[in-house]
Amino acid sequence: MTKIEINNVYKIFGPRDKSILPMVKDGQTKDEILEKTGHTVGLDNVTLKIEEGETFVCMGLSGSGKSTLIRHLNRLIDPTAGEILIEGTNVMNLNKEKLIEFRRHKMSMVFQRFGLFPHKTVIQNVGYGLEMQGKDETSRKKVAMEKIEAVGLSGFENQYPNQLSGGMQQRVGLARALATDTDIMLMDEAFSALDPLIRSDMQKQLMDLQSELKKTIVFITHDLDESLRLGDHIGILNAGKLVQVGTPVDIIMNPADDYVSAFVKDVNRTKVIKAKVIMKPKNQSDDIDKTNLIKVHEDQFIEEFLPEVVCSNSNCEIVDKQGNTKGYISNKELQNTLSKS
């Protein structure tokens, strides 16, 4: 089911945005419009659909429009033209009161710089959204503690933000977003301020939580490896235009233009392609030799099982968490996947 639908959205920053819109629609570039009018094109005719329960990653270079896009979803920014539908409701039609309720109950947000209240403890920060929803103190504390435990911060609930590391502060931000139990989570460069090791840990934690919760997540990043690791689908923006939407493998294997090609040319595919992406389904794999198979979990990345496959020259049986066979990968198909350019 489509959770978020963005149709023909334009955003032009400046006092005469409506009058500048025809220039954008006529195909003048972002640089041309800035030079001629002093206005900045944030988004240029963006249309996309995000399905319920998926992690959609929007990426691009600085100034590409990705943060502008995510801020349209909860109407922190209003478009110059176009519509944004959440579960079929056009958020542009919400009045002030309904918009406040929409933000409290439908969407939560995790910020790059954590956005924690320095005078509140961890448990108070995590429970803040629940307080805004009108929940009583007892229920707030109960839910907040559950989410604190879920992100691995048990024992730190009475600490203040300045007593925590950057990674721990971001875990608090994540717990706060989870506590309100909204359907949609917006994450704007949420892990960008963290050092690489902590960032990798946070990515894994998000994937583990998402495998259980199945939220609809819109994740903004400028980091390709992060987008390939986290995204069910990826949208790539360039100068306000959405130039490609696809699965991580689509993006790597079939870049839409030179801009996307430049992004993916140095990608280590073994780190971003999972077994389930390249496997043949169980009922379509009669041509694969099933003697001497190596069992591989469907969510394992190629780098995790490649050495064993190479050393043993074996094929792979792909299984789910319960150990059920989902499909197979032949040694030959694995080599073909890694050799494609």
Q: What is the pLDDT of residues 81-139, one digit of tens each?
A: 999 999 999 999 999 999 988 888 888 888 766 678 899 999 999 998 888 888 888 99
Q: What is the pLDDT of residues 61-91, one digit of tens each?
A: 888 999 999 999 999 999 999 999 999 999 9
Q: How confident is the model at residue 231 (pLDDT cuts 50, 70, 90)?
A: very high
Identify the residue whose tokens are 């993916």.
264
Torsion 136-138-142-148 (CA) sign: positive
Q: How confident is the model at residue 52 (pLDDT cuts 50, 70, 90)?
A: very high
Query: 37 Cβ partners below 8 Å, 6+ apart?
Result: 14, 16, 20, 23
Partnered with residue 10 across adjacent β-strands are 81
Q: What DSSP line would sit under 165-224, residue for residue?
A: -HHHHHHHHHHHHHHTT-SEEEEESTTTTS-HHHHHHHHHHHHHHHHHH--EEEEEES-H
The rounded distance, in Å, linking the Cα atoms of 125 and 157 is 9
Prediction pTM value: 0.80
Tell me the domain boundaries of the chain. 2-106+182-267, 275-339
The rounded distance, in Å, linking the Cα atoms of 127 and 143 is 8
pLDDT at 112: 66
Token pair, residue 240, equals 């306000």
* 2-106+182-267 under CATH 3.40.50.620, yes or no: no
The rounded distance, in Å, linking the Cα atoms of 118 and 102 is 26
Question: What is the average pLDDT score of the chain?
Answer: 90
Sheet holding 89-90, edge to edge: 40-51, 2-13, 81-86, 89-90
**How far is C-alpha 282 from the geometric centre of its chain's CA atoms?**
30
Q: What DSSP line would sit under 213-281, residue for residue?
A: H--EEEEEES-HHHHHHH-SEEEEEETTEEEEEE-HHHHHHS-SSHHHHHHHTT--GGGT-BHHHHPEE
Which CATH architecture describes the domain 275-339? Roll (3.10)
